[in-house]
Amino acid sequence: MKVVKFGGSSLASGNSVDKALSIINADPERRVVVVSAPGKRTEDDIKVTDLMITYAYMSLRSNNYQDIATRIFKRYELIAQYFELPEAELEDIKQLLLTLPKLSYPNNDYRMATFKAHGERLNAILIAKILNHQGIKARFLEPKDVGLIVTGTSNNAEVNPETYVNLKRIKAAKDEKIIFPGFYGITPSGHIATFSRGGSDITGAILARGLNADLYENFTDVDAIFSANPHIVDQPKPIKRMTYQEMRELSYAGFSVFHDEALIPAIQGEIPVNVKNTNAPEKPGTMIVPEDGFIPKHTITGIAGGKNFAALYLRKYMLNKGAGFTLKLMEILQKHHVSYEHMPSGIDDITIIFKKDVLTDQLIDVICNEIQTSLNPDQMQWIDDYAITMVVGEGMKDKLTLCASLLYPLGKKNISIQMINQGASQISIMIGTRRQDEEVVIKTIYDNFIAQDKI
Ligand code: ASP
């Protein structure tokens, strides 16, 4: 049995839903279908999830939210009309949408989560109806029906392990398609909470693990996961096969095709993931598989870059001899609920690298003040323009001269390396640079390795 998930761009219009339905119907093993909310139809279109967010805000401020609700409903109506679904079939979808402002919520965060989740919820209801209308047996099921329980915060939830016990109870007839909304779960007290943005991938992986699927197919709008960002490298090579660990490292630093949190359930259940294109389903896409028995074909599988980093550089003479400096530093960060990404250190200095979105300017000032008062460093510098490039490949293990061959061409291009970090697994090397150098770093490494298919 296969779990298939369609992203928002694959379900943005009647025409794209039609392609998705052909894919579902082409393989009887595709029995569980996870759907996103309708995405963008054109570059300047707005995703239904973003419209839902506006709807939530507008309905909080005044009673003047009819226009936005109508605009959202229109998105579903257009899809329904494409399939000539009778208008009466849409009545429950309309009512669910219009009732959202009138429901009671524990607080505004839950309220926001419920509005957001309805992008996928209404889409799953609609797609089940369309399939039935076409004479295909399909059933809408959602988190509260199957016990997909989440904890954490209402807009950044995490799956609760109890879910996997509950999912075992799902009974699906062989000739029936289950249409399941992505992106949200149900809290222990019965409210809707969503995963982080792009989280329908996570739902697909949870179902694939819970139902012990043979394969999790993730349909999106690209032919495969590319070995580098196509906006930086011209026509980068697609990655045919890679391990979970490689994918995790790459998605961490910027590969956004597949949600990095979605890999965890797949890894736990050892479910292979196939990222494919809804517009070209005959293409093999990218297979993401367990490490066991994986034989790498190249040294470097992919290069990812993230510009969204900042760093705090601290220098204190004899730092290596003093006890407790790092502990105090961590306590300050913990007090402000700030997580950090990396912490390379030297004998007299330490750099803490953050993802920028965990910080505001005000928080940076507060944290720096506290560090100054309690740790009194000799030098403290906030580096705002930090980029991280991740070079990833199972084939990098035990390649003795790899670091030299990676860095030498960068030196020749006058790129100053702020940090280099290779973990014990040896499958990734992280290179910290100034933000303006990042694209050159990616292009240079791509040209020297992946383009030449160096083994
Ligand atoms: N619709 C949600 C979002 O836009 C979740 C998803 O598409 O995966 O973030």
**Tens-place pLDDT, residues 51-68:** 999 999 999 998 889 999
Per-residue pLDDT of 97-128, as tens digits, reads 999 999 999 999 999 999 999 999 999 999 99
Q: Are 157 and 193 in contact (CB under 8 A)?
A: yes
Q: Are 236 and 439 in contact (CB under 8 A)?
A: no
Structure tokens of 27?
């393989």
**What's the whole-number mean pLDDT along residues 227-256?**
88
**What's the whole-number mean pLDDT along residues 172-195?**
95
Structure tokens of 265?
């359930």
Q: Is the CB of 49 under 6 A from ligand 1?
A: yes
Q: Is the CB of 183 under 6 A from ligand 1?
A: yes
> pTM value?
0.89
Give the residue from 124, 16, 111, 118 showing the smallest Cα distance to 69. Answer: 118
Mutate to test the pocket of ligand 1, among 10, 49, 155 (most ligand atoms within 8 A of CB): 49
Q: What is the whole-number distance in angstroms between the Cα of residue 42 and the centre of ligand 1?
A: 16
Question: How many angstroms separate the Cα of 293 from the Cα of each of 216, 290, 379, 394, 423?
Answer: 20, 8, 48, 12, 21
Give the residue from 76, 79, 103 showing the smallest Cα distance to 15. Answer: 79
Per-residue pLDDT of 322-335, as tens digits, reads 788 899 999 999 99
Q: Is the CB of 204 under 6 A from ligand 1?
A: no
Give the residue from 450, 454, 396, 389 showing the smallest Cα distance to 425. Answer: 396
Confidence of residue 453 (pLDDT cuts 50, 70, 90): confident
Q: What is the whole-number distance in angstroms between the Cα of residue 379 and the centre of ligand 1?
A: 43
More confident residue, 183 or 255: 183
Average pLDDT, the chain: 93
**What's the whole-number mean pLDDT along residues 207-211?**
97
Q: What is the whole-number distance in angstroms between the Cα of residue 170 and the centre of ligand 1?
A: 24
Q: What is the whole-number distance in angstroms between the Cα of residue 395 and the centre of ligand 1?
A: 33
pLDDT of residue 254: 65
pLDDT above 70 coverage of the chain, percent: 99
Give the residue from 408, 421, 418 showing the smallest Cα distance to 438. Answer: 418
**Region for residue 310 given its phi and psi (left: phi exceeds 0; alpha: psi -120 to 50; beta: otherwise):** beta
CATH fold of 302-450 reads: VC0802-like (3.30.2130)
Give the residue from 396, 377, 107 showing the smallest Cα distance to 242. Answer: 396
**Which residue carries 């250190």 as its tokens?**
345
Q: Report the alpha-carbon angle 191-193-195, nearest 5.
A: 165
For domain 2-222+257-289, the CATH class is alpha beta
Structure tokens of 29?
């093993």
For CATH 3.40.1160.10, list the domain ranges present in the chain. Answer: 2-222+257-289
- Kind of pairing between the strands at 379-392 and 428-434: antiparallel
For CATH 3.30.2130.10, list the domain ranges present in the chain. Answer: 302-450
Q: Report the alpha-carbon angle 452-244-20, nearest 5.
A: 90
pLDDT of residue 421: 85
Q: Is the CB of 118 under 6 A from ligand 1?
A: no
